Chain A
Amino acid sequence: MKKPLAGIINISTNNILSIKRALEFIGFNTVLINEHVPIEKFDLIVLPGVGAFNEAMNTLNRKNLLKTIDQALNKNKKFLGICLGMQLLFQESNEFIKTKGIGFFNGNVENFKSFPIYKKTFIGWNKVNFSKKFFKNAEQYYLLQNKAYYFVHSFFVNCTNKNIEFGNSVNGRLTYASVVKKDNVTAFQFHPEKSGKHGLNLLKTIANNI
């Protein structure tokens, strides 16, 4: 059987290798997308990201990758955003300077600093409370629901449309969306590629839905 092909949008962030390795581990072939390319041949487009919002948007602009992303989002291509790659799909962020995002999801990216929370930068494992409808079957839900996944972030999305929120997490007294989904597009605030076996299983459930 031919392996499905994942295109990973490369915005030159720290460790693009992790997501590439994880996708290959669960049975994908992978290609790094460094400039705008036709998306037809891909079964999945991944937008990973670690770093600053405005710099990432600048890079996407400069490399004409916004066009690639736009096509994937609107042509019903399976799409996965991870960490900053999730935040970029929202409308606006105030990280360093006010920057417009891709705007596929409604809501803005906000700083933990403005909330009464324990850690201003969250590095470590945290539970994700998935809604049942995220999974195709109960078996997947019970396997992956309320498990710990690996997070590294100081910003989070203030998701104004509760219909797209498919999972949340808690930092101090703040509950925020850690999983969003609309049609063909899924995004995680945490790193499934660094979240041990549950993370790999979660990636697999998305892959299986292709």
Chain B
Amino acid sequence: MIKRIIARLDIKNNFLVKGMNLEGLRILGYPELFSKKYFDEGIDEIIFQDVVASLYKRNQLSHLTSKISENVFVPITVGGGIRNIKDIKEILVSGADRVSINTGAIHNKNFVEEAVKIFGASTICISIETLKINDSYKIYTDSGRTEINKDTFDWIKEVQDLGVGEIILTSINNEGTGRGFDINLYEKASKISSIPLLAHGGTKTPDNVYEVFSKANVDGVIIASAFHFNYYKELLDKKEIPLTGSTNFLKDKNTHSLSFKIKKLKEYLRLKNIEIR
């Protein structure tokens, strides 16, 4: 099975933003520039997530989805604030291939079941945000803001029974920190999941990606900061994006390696015998 390398773009008010532990958002630029760049560099898939949609009970991604899908010819998944069938339809008509649902699934499982029936399993993806406290993994909603008193592994089993096509599992502890994947989490999760599982949170080096592919049976990895900070510099040099907010973080070499490119990552994984496109 060919492993997938997926870029995730967190969106707030039509801008690409990135934080740490799903908090402390910085504006990085126009998402359509980043997504086009990632497509040109050979990304396998792109995920757009409206990070505040669910919190403010709104959904603004369809216009952006339509703009982005003009230049991106790989699968596009869109999430954030999806609560009903109409929301899904709107996003799919705008050019997305899949939607990812988190908060909406926790509040209404019937909605997910209905969505699977209408749009097919492969169109419905469940996004799970998990926080490790002591030795237990609890799930969160609203981009890591609200704790739900539910065990992550129980929830994985439940959503599989709803018939969804895929699971995105985000480690809030590791997200945006560049400390590598929580291997234990993905090992455990992949053992109980019979549908594709995507790992998200913590990539800094190509070796982090190799580690999660070789130790846990995940189908793909989702990378945000490591790509953004890399290409941000390139896009910034070309003056293609406006300077917004502080860019001091770019000078902080400890936060992210600045030589992390899609093509290089794929070359590295191929050398390590991971099957990659």
Which A residues have a C-beta under 8 Å from some C-beta of B? Answer: 14-15, 17-18, 21-22, 25, 50-51, 118-119, 121, 123-127, 148, 150, 152, 193-197, 199-200
Q: Which of chain B's residues have a CB closer than 8 A to the CB of A194?
A: 73-75, 97
Q: Any chain A CB within 8 A of the CB of B94?
A: yes
Distance in angstroms between the alpha carbons of A163 and B166 in the assembled complex: 36
Measured CB to CB, the nearest residue on chain A to B121 is: A121
Question: Which residues does chain A contribute within 8 Å of B255, judged by CB atoms?
Answer: none
Known: A51-B120, A125-B2. A15 touches B97 (CB 8 A): yes
- Asked whether, in the complex, the Cβ of A118 is within 8 Å of the Cβ of B1, the reply is yes
| B contact set with A: CB distance below 8 Å | 1-2, 4, 39, 42, 44, 66, 69-71, 73-75, 92-97, 119-123, 165-166, 196, 219, 277
Residues of B within 8 A of A196 (CB): 39, 42, 44, 73-74, 277
Contacts of A124 in B (CB 8 A): 1-2, 4, 196, 219
The reply to whether A50 and B39 contact each other, CB–CB distance below 8 Å, is no
Among B39, B94, B97, B219, which residue has the most Cβ atoms of chain A within 10 A?
B97
Least CB distance, A169 to chain B, in whole angstroms: 11
| A17 & B75 in contact (Cβ 8 Å cutoff) | no
Given contacts A14-B97, A194-B73, 20 further A-B contacts (CB under 8 A): A15-B92, A15-B95, A15-B97, A17-B66, A17-B94, A17-B95, A18-B69, A22-B73, A25-B71, A50-B123, A121-B122, A123-B165, A123-B196, A125-B277, A150-B74, A195-B74, A196-B44, A196-B74, A199-B73, A200-B73
Q: Which of A118, A125, A152, A193 contacts B73 (CB 8 A)?
A: A193
- Residue of A22, A51, A119, A196 ringed by the most chain B CB atoms within 10 A: A196
